[in-house]
Chain A
Amino acid sequence: MLLIVRDPIDVEAVSESVRSPGYGGVVTFVGLVRERADDGRGVDGLSYEAHAAMAVERFQRIADGLRECYGQLEVSIVHREGELRVGEVAVAVAVAAPHRREAFAACADAIDELKRDVPIWKKEHYRDGSERWRENAP
């Protein structure tokens, strides 16, 4: 399951999607909209936009990279686009692997890679009415 979606993310469904009898562990990362920006400012919500086709292709490349590194595993990545309020799920990453060690490591790598270079953009809307595009550190 590698998707950009407009509707709210069903975390349970993402986690469920990677399960199969060969895998003993699933690690799921859930990224939420926080009420404070890194500089402490109050946040009302975020808007995300994405080049969906390119983003999904990058997700596929991330999944391929994880398999090269950790061996057989199953990966799902689902990212929201559109307007999100505080507390909503912005991204869910689930990794299933034969053992927990690979599952934890691969899930951490997946979200790090997603933040590094996938064509998705985020604007923070602050409580004082201002707004700003936020870029991830390269």
Chain B
Amino acid sequence: MKIRVLAFARVREVLGAPESELALAPSARISDAWGALLARAPALAELRASTRVARNGRIVADDCALQEGDELALLPPSGGG
């Protein structure tokens, strides 16, 4: 299945693009998406612990299951205001 990945701030810089696509196995979970992203950009490893993931706008845990067409947003610690 295909999912869309939105990356922000440091994570965007490490991934090299604000938006990208991942092709994952049909039963994939958030942790599998991380695996694919780390394969693409190994330097993400040091940001992973501080980066939360939102699936379709909701923060989710690593074992949350994914569905075709999901939007994953990679959210490093925020700095608004």
Partner-B contacts on A (CB < 8 A): 31, 48-51, 53-55, 57, 79, 90-91, 111, 114-115, 117-123, 133-136, 138
Contacts and interface: CB of A to CB of B under 8 A. Distances in A.
Nearest to A48: B80
Contacts, number: 65
21 contacts: A50-B80, A51-B6, A51-B54, A51-B73, A54-B54, A54-B57, A54-B73, A57-B57, A79-B80, A91-B80, A114-B81, A115-B81, A117-B78, A119-B8, A119-B54, A121-B76, A121-B79, A121-B80, A123-B9, A133-B10, A136-B81
B6, B73, B75, B81: which has the most chain A beta carbons within 10 Å?
Answer: B81
A50 B73 CA distance: 11
B79 A119 contact: no
Size class of B's contact patch?
10 to 19
Contact of B81 (A91, A119, A123, A138): A91
Contacts of A55: 80
A134 B80 contact: no
Nearest to B52: A119
Interface in B1-34: 6, 8-10, 12
Given A54-B57, A54-B73, A121-B8, A133 B79 contact: yes
Given A51-B6, A57-B57, A90 B73 contact: no
B9 A121 contact: yes
A115 B80 contact: yes
Given A51-B8, A53-B57, A133-B9, A118 B77 contact: no
Contact of B9 (A31, A49, A79, A118): A49
Contacts of A51: 6, 8, 54, 73, 75
